Every structure is written in C-alpha cells, then in structure tokens.
Amino acid sequence: MMIGADETPSTQPVSAWWRQKPGEMSVMWTVRVVGLGVVALSFSLELLVWLHRRFRPGRILNEVLFFPSEIACVEHIFTPTSSHSCVCSLPHGVETSFSRLLRHIMSASSSLDLCVFAFSNMDLCRAVLALHRKGVTIRVLTDKDYAAITGSQIGVLRKAGICVRCDVSSVYMHHKFAVMDGRLLISGSLNWTLTAVQSNMENILVTEEPDLVQPFIKEFHKLWVCNDPARYHCSSD
C-alpha cells in the first residue's frame, strides 16, 4: 500500500502534471513545433509536386510546328558525327520545323505506326529507313492511288522490307499522322512531300497527351486490320 501511495505523484493525470514539471512543458512545445514543422513540410511537398508537374523535364510534350520550313542541312540528324564535316551548300546548325519533325520521328525506339496520304519526301524516307535498320517495328498505311505516283517513297520502304498496306475502302486515305512508341503523336495538315515541307503553309501538332494519342492508336489498329490484304472486307465502324 505504501508503494501505491508513493507512486501517486508520478501517475498524475495529464492536466495536472504540467503544473509541476516544467521539463514536460517544453516537451509539449516540442510536440507543437514538430507538428507545425510536419504541416509546413506537407505544404512544401505539395508545392514541390506542383512545381515538378509544371516545370519537370518530363512534362507532357505539346508542340506545334509550322511550315514551310526554312531550308537547312539535316545531315547531322542522320549522322551526328558529321555535324562539323558536312560540306553541302545549305545553312548548317539551324534548327527548323523540319529538323524538329525529323528529330521527333527519329526518337522512336520500339515502334512507328505511320498513316500518310502522300509520301515522297526523301529525307523523311531516310528517317524511316534508319529506324527500320535500328530494329524499330514499322507499319505504314497509305493511299492506294498516291502510293503509285512518281517520286513516291512507298516502293523504297517496301523494298527495304517494311510492312506497307494500302487503303482500299475510301475515296482518299487522307490522314497524315504517325505514332511513335505508342506515346507520341504527330498529326496535322502536312503530307510527307517536299512541297509540303518547303513550299506550303502547313502545320503539325506533336503531343504526348494520352487523350489525343490513344484514339489515333485505336484508329491505326482498326485501319491496319481493315486493310489486311488477306481480308479486305471491313465494316465502317
């Protein structure tokens, strides 16, 4: 019993033991400071997350390119080691809409799905061939009439072993889009021709926005299946 009585002061309730133990009061201040610190930390984290989303290097890419492009040498895009050795007469070291477009195409590391009405631009053909050599899986869907015009690069792609299908169901297969690695969409008014790149007023959107990319992936798949030479009959759904 004596022991019980002696113990009483040390088991005093919370409200009471502040009064008598100033050391513990500083503990409660520590609790408050720590609590405030954690709240401040959570707000800081929130701010950092926002800043990261706003300015992070990996932010969703959205870019618009307008044409006609300035005409400049693009050799360094195909052979980076030759950036200082090219002796052609075109301006060097100039970033243009066309060089941006080439870079985006060349960024593909696993797949390129291309759906284009007219394809006669030799630099763009060279980019596709370079990807093919790198082992990128390439599928090309094009218009049946324009595939056969003079200067078309479709035959070159086929000869290189790239799988090409021609649309047979519509008046024109008028798309001009490409999806790289199932994540990056290139789409706009620009056909893959020299005139489009160097002479016309044209635009291209480059985006990683999933809400925009995913429908194009789905559409490409639909068109690819519909235009399988083994089964040329598809519904329009």
Q: Is 181 a catalytic residue?
A: yes
Neighbouring-strand partners of residue 119: 192
Residues of span 154-173 touching a copy of itself by CB under 8 A: 167, 169-173
Q: Report d(CA 5, CA 22) in Å as an integer.
A: 23
Residues of span 115-154 touching a copy of itself by CB under 8 A: 117
207 binds a copy of itself (CB under 8 A): yes
Q: Name which position in 126, 139, 174, 182 contacts a copy of itself (CB under 8 A).
A: 174
57 binds a copy of itself (CB under 8 A): no
Q: Is 233 a catalytic residue?
A: no
3-state secondary structure of 178: strand
Q: Shortest Cβ distance from residue 161 to a copy of itself (Å)?
A: 25
The amino acid at residue 5 is: A
Cα dist. 44→32, 38, 48, 115 in Å? 18, 10, 6, 46
Instruction: Determine which one of 174, 218, 221, 228 is catalytic.
Output: 174
24 binds a copy of itself (CB under 8 A): yes
211 binds a copy of itself (CB under 8 A): yes
Using the minimum distance from each CB to a copy of itself, give the nearer residue, 152 or 187: 187
Cα dist. 133→24, 80, 82, 130, 212 in Å? 73, 16, 19, 5, 29
